[in-house]
Amino acid sequence: MNINKIRSFITSNKGNLFLFKFKGARNQTEEFIGKITGVYKSIFTVKVNDYTNRTKSYSYNDILTNSLEIKEIVLKK
């Protein structure tokens, strides 16, 4: 997968809920549910779906290097 495919995936899924898993430094991982809210040239923003309403930003390289995993959430009807 290349940067352009990642960028088009993020752009086409703006506003959808996903499960994000970020692998940080020193083997720290953070999992959260969030919505892609902004798409820019080199980064995208995610609004965390919890009581804090934080906004986090990630680069497309985070996905390319497997530092950030995105899994689609399927809601049952």
Quote the tokens at residue 38: 């902004």
CATH architecture of 3-72: Roll (2.30)
Asked if the model's pLDDT at residue 15 lies above 90, the reply is: yes
Domain boundaries, the chain: 3-72
* pLDDT per residue as tens digits for the range 16-51: 999 999 998 888 999 999 999 999 999 999 999 989
Q: Please give the angle made by the CA atoms of 11, 71 and 30, to the nearest 5 degrees.
A: 105
Quote the tokens at residue 59: 């680069």
- How many beta carbons lie within 10 A of that of residue 6, not counting itself? 18
Q: Tell me what pLDDT residue 25 has.
A: 87
